[in-house]
Amino acid sequence: MLRLRSQLQAKKLPPDLVTLIDTIAIAGKDIAFRLQQGAMSGVLGSAEKENVQGETQKKLDVISNDLLKTYLLESNTVRGIASEEEENIVAGHDHAKYLVAFDPLDGSSNIDINSMIGTIFSILHAPTTETVSQADFLQPGRNQCAAGYILYGPSVMLALTTGNGVQMYTLDQRIGEFLLTTDHVVIGKDTQEFAINMSNQRSWAVPMQNYVNDLLAGSEGPRGKNYNMRWVAAMVADVHRILCRGGLFAYPWDNREPKTPGKLRLMYEANPMGMLVEQAGGSAWTDVGPILDIQPETIHQRVPVILGSINEVTACVGYHKNN
């Protein structure tokens, strides 16, 4: 099995991009180690403060964010970084070629119950000017040169795309290296599985309520087949399942915060996951258009998300178009 760095070099990627991806992988190994220590290392529980999103941070949110910042800024490959956990960008090296946006620990509410969580990242080309600003990060998802996530579960896995399909790597704990375990990830066009937080159903827009009601109606309903529902409460885990066996993941708009387009962040979650899903043959949309075509307005912009098996995404979006 090929090691991550060897595989990236075989693809003839720019050396700085290889180093950058390898740096993220090293940070992931460090985060994974701390997670595995659990209560023994005192990293569980609340940090008793809020992030820029107004969410209560877990101790490991803060630790993971600091680890990624340290590794990335010391790599000399990053012009600037943007984190879901911080209000402003952090400048890196003036002549570096890349920008990185990341969610350091997606699904952190799962930490204390020892369930799956992960790190999500998006890599963009830096502008030609030396001084970096927030505006430099506001690029559509189509501009990403790489994206991926590290899943911390029964095994630690890296899902990665550099614009030529999706590969999966598994961390071999014996040698401390990510090894290529799946070379060509493909999402089936059809599915009978969906992931959505059903507790919010009463607050969704009518098209989404109608869509899910038709799924629940099963083989006797208009969709003509039975569906299973899965929900891990961590986007990284639900998307990983889709990459492994197909399905649909949705986090739609709801009327509890009517002025907020959605819960998930465009730069840190929707864009990198959208790129992975599209590169594996799936589809990634909001209720009105492809996620990767959105021109970001702010680094913490939120969007509704519908992604997964292409025919099921098309069906779901169709309910909104026909409303």
Provide the annotated binding site for substrate.
106-109, 197, 263
- Show binding-site residues for Mg(2+): 84, 103, 105-106, 269
Pairing of the two strands 90-91 and 78-83:
antiparallel
Could you give the angle at the alpha carbon of 59 between the alpha carbons of 146 and 25, nearest 5°?
25
Q: Longest C-alpha distance within the chain, in Å?
A: 61
261/265 Cα distance (integer angstroms)? 10
86/234 Cα distance (integer angstroms)? 20
- Show binding-site residues: 84, 103, 105-109, 197, 263, 269
Are 96 and 16 spatial neighbours (Cβ–Cβ below 8 Å)?
A: yes
Beta bridge partners of 265: 302
Query: From start to end of the chain, where are the E strands?
Result: 46-50, 56-58, 78-83, 90-91, 98-106, 117-125, 146-152, 156-161, 167-172, 177-182, 193-195, 228-229, 248-251, 264-265, 283-285, 302-303, 305-308
80/88 Cα distance (integer angstroms)? 11
